Structure 1
Amino acid sequence: MAYRYDPDLEFLEKIDSVDLNDLVSCLTHDKDGSARLTEELTGTELFKKHHPDHHQYWELIAAEIQCFGANTFVTLFRGGKGVEYREILIDVCDKMKVNYNKDSSVEVIENNLLLKVLKDALDKMPADELRKLAESVGMKNIHLFTPESMLGVFQAVFRAGGFKSYQLTLVIVNAILKAMIGRGLSFAGNAALTRSVAVLTGPIGWAITGAWTAVDIASAAYRVTIPAVIQIAALRQKHLYGRQADDISFS
């Protein structure tokens, strides 16, 4: 296993070890907590020496993601370098039937993936739940609570970036992961960030269950790459929001 330089994963170098816990757990353990037979990370000398200080071997974490992605593409040389993250993300989006522009940045494509999940959830939510969801993430003066209008609002939130985009990402990712792997993000415990999780968990869980069943049958590698991509999207938003907050504090 060797890391292929990947501009879309380089930000992991800036992520604290504690925030990498969920991603490492996803790569090394199944949903039931048993060790993955195909993972290589825990057998490396750096992992054995520094675990759980994940920051010390972030490149190996990235390499493991790339190699699981290579499995998805039926790459013959499992022990070598995998594929770049963009290719993995696009493969996941194709599997989940996400509408995206392949020339967009990975951040935009990740947001399209999350919006697809959110759209499926919104379509199942009655008007009173849509209203609660809007209020829980601080949206006011919304007079027409329909899935279409709400999705438009959330698209605008993602485009604007900042705290609201970060909050919405964590809420969606937390609910998705609970539905997929039985546990949410450990760094999403801040009540100000996740107070709308209770509103979203049910609908997103229903939307994911059907899609997850089909994906699960298709390939075991997707059991890793889909939740890994979802978690990387959350880590990226956390990183971007942190940089924005630092820029404001020093301006």
Structure 2
Amino acid sequence: MALSHYISNDVFDKLLTAADREERLALTQVVNSEATVPLPPGELKKQMSLAAGHSVFNALRGGEGISYAEMLSDACDTLKVEGRRSYFSSPAHGVCIADADRSTAKVPDGVTQADRKIAVLEYIKDHQKMLLSKLMVDLYTGLTADQRRKVDAELDKLAKDNGLVSVSQGAALLALGNAGGFATYTLMSTLLSAVSFGTLSFGAYTFASTALSVVLGPVGWIALGAYAANKLGAPSSPKVVRMAATCSMVYERLVTTRALQRIA
């Protein structure tokens, strides 16, 4: 199945095309840790899709990898995100997301192309938010007492800015993850920088690509690497989670700046 036949890969295409150089370099370094220049969007999509898929199934698919929606589903599976729907689940209109995603797959009568697109886009947005929320909670749980105090200060500010008052830190993390946009992007960046550097050097976050290259790059994902080594199991799992989470963060930045207005 050609990657272009997946509805979710329309989002993937637009995301990678709209991403800036530092974001694409961070993603390129997931599939090739020695890369010093980013892959072009089309080649990057191909390499990420292959890296996220199982080599045997990639061969059965004619050398193609998995779709963006399935990548998000696998990442959520890896992190054991509660309350999520499987990529192979059936939404209310009676067609599973996997079939809705494959534009060439047969679906029940009465299910329009618009229905399929809506179902896939909702699935993507829901799973991006759930993935980042779960990672936030996991990363926060692993902080030292000093790191947690520093993150709490940023968390309290973000919570108040988003209308959340007098909630537990765990609840605030989940709520901010659900809020999406700049709040999610800022908090995830703050957590990664806190765990990676022990301070909030990059916590007062802007969209500066110099900070982004550190937070989303190999150094910034030391925290996830340590977490993955203990909990994620399969060797490819940390890579899938890192790709999906980085894309989810970039998506939130692009939506916030209206760079992805047409698919948000």
Superposition TM-score, scaled by structure 2 size: 0.60
Is 1:192 matched with 2:204?
yes
Is 1:94 matched with 2:111?
no
Q: Partner of 1:218 in structure 2?
A: 234
When residues 212 and 26 of structure 1 are mapped into structure 2, their CA distance, relative to the original with a 3 A threshold, is: same
Q: Offset of 1:58 from its aligned partner?
A: 0.4
Is 1:243 matched with 2:245?
no
Q: Offset of 1:90 from its aligned partner?
A: 1.0
Is 1:167 matched with 2:168?
no
Alignment counterpart, residue 7 of structure 1, candidates 10, 18, 43: 10
Secondary structure of 1:7's aligned partner: helix
Q: Partner of 1:135 in structure 2?
A: 153
- For residues 82-120 of structure 1, what are the alpha-carbon distances to aligned partners after superposition, in whole Å with 9 as ceiling and x for unaligned? 110111221121122112422653232122222223223
Q: Offset of 1:167 from its aligned partner?
A: 0.6
Q: Offset of 1:61 from its aligned partner?
A: 0.5
How many angstroms apart in 1 are the aligned matches of 2:66 and 2:222?
30
Q: Partner of 1:233 in structure 2?
A: 248
Q: Offset of 1:69 from its aligned partner?
A: 2.1
Q: Offset of 1:244 from its aligned partner?
A: 7.6
In structure 1, list runs of 5 or more residues that go unmatched: 36-50, 180-188, 198-203, 247-251
Q: Offset of 1:121 from its aligned partner?
A: 3.8
How many angstroms apart in 1 are the aligned matches of 2:188 and 2:138?
15
How many angstroms apart in 1 are the aligned matches of 2:260 and 2:3?
30
C-alpha contact (below 8 Å) 1:67/1:82 kept by paired residues: yes
Paired amino acid for 1:239? L
Q: Offset of 1:3 from its aligned partner?
A: 4.3
How many angstroms apart in 2 are the aligned matches of 1:101 and 1:174?
28
Q: Offset of 1:18 from its aligned partner?
A: 3.1
When residues 190 and 218 of structure 1 are mapped into structure 2, their CA distance, relative to the original with a 3 A threshold, is: closer
Note the aligned Cα RMSD (angstroms).
4.1
How many angstroms apart in 2 are the aligned matches of 1:164 and 1:114?
12
When residues 213 and 136 of structure 1 are mapped into structure 2, their CA distance, relative to the original with a 3 A threshold, is: same
In structure 2, list runs of 5 or more residues that go unmatched: 86-90, 92-121, 215-220
Paired amino acid for 1:88? M
C-alpha contact (below 8 Å) 1:13/1:58 kept by paired residues: yes
Paired amino acid for 1:228? M
Q: Offset of 1:127 from its aligned partner?
A: 7.6
Q: Offset of 1:9 from its aligned partner?
A: 0.5
Secondary structure of 1:105's aligned partner: helix
Secondary structure of 1:81's aligned partner: coil
Q: Offset of 1:213 from its aligned partner?
A: 3.4
C-alpha contact (below 8 Å) 1:3/1:60 kept by paired residues: no
Paired amino acid for 2:234? A
Q: Offset of 1:157 from its aligned partner?
A: 2.2
Q: Offset of 1:60 from its aligned partner?
A: 1.2
How many angstroms apart in 1 are the aligned matches of 2:80 and 2:56?
17
Alignment counterpart, residue 109 of structure 1, candidates 90, 109, 127: 127
**Kindly, what percent of the aligned residue pairs are identical?**
20
C-alpha contact (below 8 Å) 1:173/1:230 kept by paired residues: no
Paired amino acid for 2:258? R
Paired amino acid for 1:70? G
